[in-house]
Structure 1
Amino acid sequence: MGQELMVAVPDDMPRQPISSAWWYPFLTTVLPSAVIPVAAAVLFNLSLDTFRWANEPLHSLVEAVGSFAAILLSLFILIMRHSNQLRPGYIWVSTTLMGMGLLDGFHASISPGNTFIWLHSVATLVGGLTFALVVLPERVSSLPRLQAAPGLMAAASVTLGLGSILFPHWIPSMATEGQFTLTAELLNMVGGIGFLAAWFHFAWQDNAEDQEERVLLANHCLLFGMAAALFHFSAVWDATWWLWHVLRLLAYLVILWFFLSLYNRDVQRIRLAKQIIDHTGEAVIITDADARILDVNNAYAQITGYDRKELIGRNPRINKSGRHDRAFYEEMWAQLRSEGHWAGEIWDRRKNGELFPKWLRINAIRDEAGNPRQYVGVFSDITDKKMAEERLRNLAFYDPLTTLPNRAFFRERLGKLTSVMQRSGRQGALMFIDLDGFKDVNDSLGHAAGDRLLIEVAKRLQGRIRKSDTVARLGGDEFAMLLSDVRQPEQIGSLAEEILEVIRSPVSIDGHDVRVGASIGIAVYPDDAQTVDDLTRHADIAMYQAKDNGKNNYKFFQPEMHTRAVERLNLIHDLHRAVDARAFEIYYQPKIRLADRKLVGMEALIRWPRPDGSMTPPNVFIPIAEETGLILALGDWVLAEACRQTYEWNQQYGTHLRVAVNVSMRQFFGQDFVRNLLAVIREQEFPAHLLELEITEGLLIKDTQKAIAIMNPLRQHGISIAIDDFGTGYSSLSYLKRFPINTLKIDQSFVRELTSDSQDAAIVRAIISLSETLALKVVAEGVETPEQLEFLQQHQCQEAQGYLLGRPMPAAQFVKLLE
């Protein structure tokens, strides 16, 4: 019945379900429950007109079976209504069956007579009138006061039945000379009309969802209605009389079969629902209104570790974790009572004592009066989800290498702590810690060694803080430390000293004792700043001040540092603009061959003239250019411009001047340095042997193999390489032998005291002698007096430069030396 049959119609006509056709009720109800019984009655009257069969035991059996079925069905309907499995209108079906069942029971228990007919007729009347009430709207049938109708009917029927048996003289005459009186026929006729009204209600409803149910109920009503109609045409014990008794019995059996099938369907549905619940991955628990466990599914038992038998009848609090206070549960139950549902995260305890998180949804099942009857809880174990969230949180807020809080978490923590300190009036401090020399470790021993160093530094920093303090890795080799509740500023300085000491301690990595230092900047809350942004900015400024002051030390923020920091930011901004606009100028310092005092070349030195006419010293902007990476663009421009200018002078004046250009470490080890340099030479048509690159000793030891790999192709193309400031750094005879260099430049610090310090004079003589032995050219820097020049010339120094011989000068002035 669940799938409706369709009437065969042409394709261009709309199709409609058979159940909505006008003839369908006649086919399914009128034919079996009216036409056939009437035909049987006519046949009986024609063929068995004189038939009489007085069989009281059989009559009693038929009536008793019907009575028992009616009372049983009435109680069954009440039970199903109580669990909301039937619509409100079924209250009238239960009331009808209760009244008819009891009255028919009294009717079956007595011998034929006036009371006998009376009880039957009243049962028909009561049944028809109450069954007709199914036409009432369901909002009326669902009224709480009407739910007592079956009970009232039972009381009234028992009273009427007993009264009729005990006081038969009160009963009107129901039959005379074997024929029923008008009273008896009217009672049956009115009851029959009620049943026919109910039949019409069920048969002509156009609702495909409950079609089977309506057909059976319509047949039930029509059978009772036809039995009441045939009462008029019958006499006691004749064939028609037996016929309508059979019809009434059939009516009881039809509705009994219907409800048994309905019950079986519900049982199957419940069994299926239970199987679904038992096999679902979510745990399900059902309790009564007093929170006693009625049932749980398999998932509940698996998740909690309890057997189902252990849980039935107990309170769910046996799984209580202890992590939630009394107020939590009171709020949960308050919402359950007021809104009928609650959902949220809650922690429970398994049978083995293990705590676990779950997402729980509880719904209250209410009765018709709105009172909770049961509670259904559904939850899922979210342990894996919480672990995944924790992993994501660690990725978002913790550094994966050191497991320290990262910048985002540290900033959040800093914001909370400053708020707490503001309310409490306490003092705190922020330290920015930047490792000194970490890049050299990373470049020389590899990134893996650098990572191990960072991990060790993180452990050492964690070992120096209290539980209330926080240490974080901000990125790269930068760390931060947040100190709360600092009572004396001296504590901060002492801790900074300890941190410098533990960081300076060597770290053993792959057989190497690695040493690094640190520069620490400190800002105190609230003395130095009252906001998170100001505090971090001032700590950063102090850290850079510590670096500028020789590194491996700490500095407290001072207001004047902010001014210097602003100036530095402005300088970086101006430097970016100057690089884009190429607002630089190259100065050239002459190089003189001492043997004949002849100009043989020059060193190209970059200068930065400012719009106001001032000149920013190279020692101010070159370090910033290195730090920001602008040195790459700046270095490329200097190389190209120096080659272009030198080529132009050599062409114009027929000279063979060599130009020396300083190359920074970042530029030298930059990507495609050799290829870019050779491209500049080709573009300028500049002879490679007239270009000399000046590099520092520190560059050579940074990455020896890579430095050699870069220098070899340069030498193969004829480019000279000079070691600038020789003797001030990591001077070693081994690298003079290993590296393909051409020139040593004696640092001006040795030349300055050449005539007054015997040690400087000895060093200069040694460098000159060493150069001669290794067939290297030697150039002295910083020659400022004739005595210095005389000394260098006497000891066969080949070339010199300095203020005595010529200051650095712009191209327009230098060209006069060539004219």
Structure 2
Amino acid sequence: MISGQLLSGTRVLPLAYGNDNFGCSAEKDICIIAVAGGTMNIFSLALSSFSVLYIVLGFKIFLMNKSLLLNRLFLAINLSLFIWSFASALYISAHTLEACIFWYKVSSVGCFIFIGLILHYFLEYTRKEELLKKWWIYVLLYLPCVVFSYMEIANDFYAKAYSLGSNGWTVTARTDSLWFWAWTVQFVVYICLCIGMSYGWGKKATSLRERKQTRVIYITATISLLIGLAIMVVVSILGVDIPDITPITGMCWSLGIFYAIVKYRLMAMTPSFIAENLFQTIIDSVILVDPKGMILNVNEETKSMLGYDQAELVGESLEKLFLQDDRSQRNTIPELLEANPIRNKETSMVSKYGAKIPIILSVSECKDNYDTQMGFVLVSKDITEYKHAEESIQYLATHDSLTGLPNRLMLLQLLGHMIEVAKRYNRKFAVFFVDLDRFKMINDTKGHDAGDQLLQEIATRYTQTLRAADVVSRQGGDEFVILIDDVHKVSDLGLVAKNILANTYKPVLLQGDECRVTASIGISVYPRDGEDGQVLMKRADMAMYYAKEEGKNNFQFYSRDILSELTGRLDIEQNLRFALEREELSLHYQAKVNLKTGAITGVEALLRWQNPQLGSVTPTRFIPVAEETGMILSIGKWVLMTACLQNVTWQKQGLPAICMAVNLSLKQLTDINLMDNIEAALKDSGMAPNLLELEITESMIMSNPKKMRDVLVKIKNMGVRLAIDDFGTGYSSLSQLKHFPIDTLKIDRSFIRNVPVNSEDKAITHAIIAMGETLGFVVVAEGVETIEQMDYLKGQACDEMQGFYFSKPIVPEEFALLLQKQCNTLAE
């Protein structure tokens, strides 16, 4: 029996059936079952089943992570739903009125507690951390639950009457009570707050997972609210003869939250979820195997890396992945597993398609709480990209980035290996040191892009010209070193060098222009010239410099005589630096003569150097050094000024005004100060611009025709004459020269030397004179030394000549006498 306090204030309406009708009724359609002294119908049976399900769901989530507050709140919610649902089942099927009232009040307490807990849960779920730090929020959550529970137990504020109907006990609500409506408002407001918070949280969620889980929760909450309100109205307010089964609405929420947990990982931070999530999302390959090496599971990265599906790997031996390609050179799987723990072992795996994938492998053993071996975890990282990067770095460290040829570092390694092989098998090999002769001029005039293109073309030619066993390397700049392996006859090296020279000389199309370069080659031979790689390189380098001294575009073998020659070159460079300030330089002058009249029409200034230590140094020895070192700029400026002053001096002596010819180097022609230097020489000397003729070679203007034309036009605009020196030895044609502001062509002495007897030289000379006349050029023949040469040129109507036949280069005083003598002769 229930206590008097529990029943105090309770009003019992007349029952539909008297007390003598308790039990089974044959007149009713519902099956009544006797349970624990009462009767259980379909409603109470459903509520009892739900209450069991609440317990199962609550503890299942709680056990996933006991420390997580959301899990503990979910358990508390399900316990309150259990109380509400199970007590409702008992009061509906109660045997006596007292039992019905008792269990109804218990179920009410469960209902009131549920409302507070569910709002607390949603505050935690939507992460209202700041709000939950306030003490009053807990008063707002749970004080109404306590008050309404007390009021219902003590005063029956909700229940107005209990009636035993055909479906069990029903309760009529006290709709005229303020407490009833206060409770109803709290119920609706709290539930609406839960729905509103979950909906707002879903709107702010950034991940699809959070949006989906929130949608499930607020939809199930809305359904629960609507169903609960409908049952309340139908049963408690309208008094329809069915029991109050409102507790079943909690199942919508409980199942909704449970579904969100299982499907969308609502309470994701559980140990099991973390382990599963890491296993599937870790960027490394993870393979789980049993103690025998049979695969139990693989993660997504493993499937992606190897190209297998899950079903193709699970149940297979690790040998499928590790030993397929090369069984003889690898450990067996048992040996691999027994060697654990393995950390960062470099090995490889084999993909589904047979590709060998380099990996870094770690192997760890798994044991249970009883120290029993359960299997192994293999974690591996695909290092294909690292390997490619490593190979790329190694390649860049040993190869020239522009041409792809071995660089100096790799060359020294290959040279060392070649020396070892040559020693072992008593072989010979050669080192070719190759330097391009006109590369700097092309690089300066056409730009670095053209220079790079030229180097790439030359590298390709050398590689295609030589044997596969030979080595072509680039040392930097315009220098190449070639190793010629297994030389049988030293004389054969000359043929190889000529072949290299011929391939170097072939034209290269750069920026729309055909350009040519030549090469100077120095050769050292193992073991004759040294048995050490550095010695062989040094001596080949010395021989290359000697080849340049010999006029370039040739090859030279190393010999002891070369050392003394190069030592002499170093002496020239050191003394030339002080030649100007020591006034060791001077100009000699060679006349140009009109072939028809025999009159001197012009003079060429030729540089000479007299040094106290070196004696008289020829221009062919010191001018290349001056050009290479850059001293030609200061020397050329001095020559230009001195020649102009000397011409004016002769005029002041009463001698006739003649044209003064001065040679320019390529470095001078590309010098930004050239125009200023010409203007200063003319202004300071007072010489008329038309009496100055600047001589350049055709190879200079053809190195960069457009740029050179612009420079020559500027010179021509100053009133200065322009001449092409050594014409016929370059790569231009008269049709090309017509685009340049040229006044004079000087036929190279190599054609004049044999012109009386050599038909080919005659034909070339005749063609130059004829075409020069057609284009309006003054044609001058250089190097005329015999009367036969002069007579032939007269017969071809050549304009002027210059050479030893008339006068060698002489000092200014002697030239003044020569010019005065001719003036006297013409006067007579």
TM superposition score normalised by structure 1: 0.53
User: SS at the partner of 2:693?
Assistant: strand
* Residues 579 and 634, structure 1, Cα contact 8 Å, conserved in 2: no
Paired with 1:483 and 1:789, the residues of 2 have a C-alpha distance of: 50
The 1:444/1:388 distance shift into structure 2, 3 A limit, reads same
Paired with 1:525 and 1:656, the residues of 2 have a C-alpha distance of: 62
Alignment correspondent of 1:389: 390
**Amino acid paired to 2:587:** Y
User: SS at the partner of 2:387?
Assistant: helix
User: SS at the partner of 2:270?
Assistant: helix
Q: Equivalent of 1:268, from 267, 270, 274?
A: 270
* Residues 321 and 347, structure 1, Cα contact 8 Å, conserved in 2: no
- TM superposition shift of 1:405: 2.8
Matches within 5 A, 1:489-568: 489=490, 520-543=521-544, 555-568=556-569
- TM superposition shift of 1:309: 5.1
The 1:563/1:342 distance shift into structure 2, 3 A limit, reads farther
User: SS at the partner of 2:347?
Assistant: strand
Residue 693 (1) aligns with residue 694 (2): yes
**Amino acid paired to 2:281:** H
User: SS at the partner of 2:719?
Assistant: coil
The 1:649/1:785 distance shift into structure 2, 3 A limit, reads same
Matches within 5 A, 1:4-23: none
Alignment correspondent of 1:305: 307
Deviations 1:373-406 (A, max 9, x none): 8654433212122223333444443345544334
* Residues 347 and 361, structure 2, Cα contact 8 Å, conserved in 1: yes
**Amino acid paired to 1:694:** E
* Residues 603 and 660, structure 1, Cα contact 8 Å, conserved in 2: yes
Alignment correspondent of 2:471: 470
Paired with 2:580 and 2:327, the residues of 1 have a C-alpha distance of: 65
- TM superposition shift of 1:354: 0.9
The 1:606/1:415 distance shift into structure 2, 3 A limit, reads same
The 1:569/1:362 distance shift into structure 2, 3 A limit, reads farther
- TM superposition shift of 1:719: 0.8
Paired with 2:693 and 2:639, the residues of 1 have a C-alpha distance of: 13
- TM superposition shift of 1:707: 3.9
Paired with 2:764 and 2:758, the residues of 1 have a C-alpha distance of: 10
Residue 636 (1) aligns with residue 627 (2): no
Paired with 1:630 and 1:335, the residues of 2 have a C-alpha distance of: 74
- TM superposition shift of 1:801: 5.9
Alignment correspondent of 1:430: 431
Paired with 2:811 and 2:772, the residues of 1 have a C-alpha distance of: 31
**Amino acid paired to 2:304:** Q
Paired with 2:269 and 2:771, the residues of 1 have a C-alpha distance of: 108
The 1:465/1:276 distance shift into structure 2, 3 A limit, reads same
**Amino acid paired to 1:276:** L
* Residues 579 and 585, structure 2, Cα contact 8 Å, conserved in 1: no
- TM superposition shift of 1:272: 0.9
Alignment correspondent of 1:6: none
**Amino acid paired to 1:283:** S
Paired with 2:612 and 2:369, the residues of 1 have a C-alpha distance of: 90
Matches within 5 A, 1:657-672: 658-671=659-672
Paired with 2:519 and 2:421, the residues of 1 have a C-alpha distance of: 30
Residue 588 (1) aligns with residue 605 (2): no
Deviations 1:97-142 (A, max 9, x none): xxxxxxxxxxxxxxxxxxxxxxxxxxxxxxxxxxxxxxxxxxxxxx
- TM superposition shift of 1:614: 0.1
Comparing 661-670 with 720-729, which one deviates more in the overlay? 720-729
Deviations 1:288-328 (A, max 9, x none): 66655555432223212334455456553432267888677
Alignment correspondent of 2:164: none
Matches within 5 A, 1:159-178: none
* Residues 591 and 799, structure 1, Cα contact 8 Å, conserved in 2: no
Paired with 1:454 and 1:277, the residues of 2 have a C-alpha distance of: 54
**Amino acid paired to 1:587:** L
Paired with 1:560 and 1:730, the residues of 2 have a C-alpha distance of: 34
* Residues 318 and 333, structure 2, Cα contact 8 Å, conserved in 1: no
- TM superposition shift of 1:516: 7.4
User: SS at the partner of 2:661?
Assistant: strand
**Amino acid paired to 2:383:** I
* Residues 702 and 732, structure 2, Cα contact 8 Å, conserved in 1: no
- TM superposition shift of 1:585: 1.1
**Amino acid paired to 1:274:** E
User: SS at the partner of 2:276?
Assistant: helix
User: SS at the partner of 1:710?
Assistant: helix
Task: Report % sequence identity.
Answer: 38
User: SS at the partner of 2:529?
Assistant: coil
Residue 603 (1) aligns with residue 604 (2): yes
* Residues 443 and 703, structure 1, Cα contact 8 Å, conserved in 2: no
* Residues 723 and 745, structure 1, Cα contact 8 Å, conserved in 2: yes
Residue 481 (1) aligns with residue 485 (2): no
Residue 278 (1) aligns with residue 286 (2): no
Comparing 486-495 with 620-629, which one deviates more in the overlay? 486-495
Paired with 1:488 and 1:372, the residues of 2 have a C-alpha distance of: 72
* Residues 768 and 795, structure 1, Cα contact 8 Å, conserved in 2: yes
The 1:553/1:772 distance shift into structure 2, 3 A limit, reads closer
The 1:425/1:345 distance shift into structure 2, 3 A limit, reads farther
**Amino acid paired to 1:540:** D
- TM superposition shift of 1:806: 6.0
Paired with 2:466 and 2:812, the residues of 1 have a C-alpha distance of: 59
Alignment correspondent of 1:58: none
The 1:496/1:275 distance shift into structure 2, 3 A limit, reads same
User: SS at the partner of 1:388?
Assistant: helix
Alignment correspondent of 1:318: 320
**Amino acid paired to 1:722:** A
The 1:270/1:566 distance shift into structure 2, 3 A limit, reads farther
The 1:389/1:751 distance shift into structure 2, 3 A limit, reads closer
**Amino acid paired to 1:301:** K
- TM superposition shift of 1:618: 0.2
Paired with 2:291 and 2:601, the residues of 1 have a C-alpha distance of: 106
- TM superposition shift of 1:479: 4.2
Deviations 1:420-451 (A, max 9, x none): 54456544333345567888999999988887
Q: How many residues align?
A: 553
Paired with 1:667 and 1:309, the residues of 2 have a C-alpha distance of: 79
* Residues 749 and 784, structure 2, Cα contact 8 Å, conserved in 1: yes
Paired with 1:526 and 1:356, the residues of 2 have a C-alpha distance of: 46
Paired with 1:490 and 1:791, the residues of 2 have a C-alpha distance of: 42
* Residues 501 and 519, structure 2, Cα contact 8 Å, conserved in 1: yes
Paired with 1:432 and 1:715, the residues of 2 have a C-alpha distance of: 42
Paired with 2:685 and 2:798, the residues of 1 have a C-alpha distance of: 32
- TM superposition shift of 1:662: 0.6
- TM superposition shift of 1:617: 0.3
TM superposition score normalised by structure 2: 0.53
Paired with 1:504 and 1:645, the residues of 2 have a C-alpha distance of: 41
* Residues 589 and 801, structure 1, Cα contact 8 Å, conserved in 2: no
- TM superposition shift of 1:563: 4.0
Paired with 1:539 and 1:670, the residues of 2 have a C-alpha distance of: 33
**Amino acid paired to 2:284:** E
Deviations 1:524-578 (A, max 9, x none): 3233222222222333344555666677765544443344344445544554x34
Any gaps of 5 or more consecutive residues in structure 1?
Answer: 1-264
Paired with 1:486 and 1:372, the residues of 2 have a C-alpha distance of: 67
Paired with 2:648 and 2:737, the residues of 1 have a C-alpha distance of: 30
Alignment correspondent of 2:713: 712
Paired with 1:655 and 1:512, the residues of 2 have a C-alpha distance of: 44
Instruction: Provide the alpha-carbon RMSD of the alignment.
Output: 5.6
- TM superposition shift of 1:695: 2.4
Paired with 1:598 and 1:546, the residues of 2 have a C-alpha distance of: 41
Paired with 2:709 and 2:268, the residues of 1 have a C-alpha distance of: 89
* Residues 294 and 315, structure 2, Cα contact 8 Å, conserved in 1: yes
User: SS at the partner of 1:353?
Assistant: coil
- TM superposition shift of 1:797: 8.5
Alignment correspondent of 1:616: 617
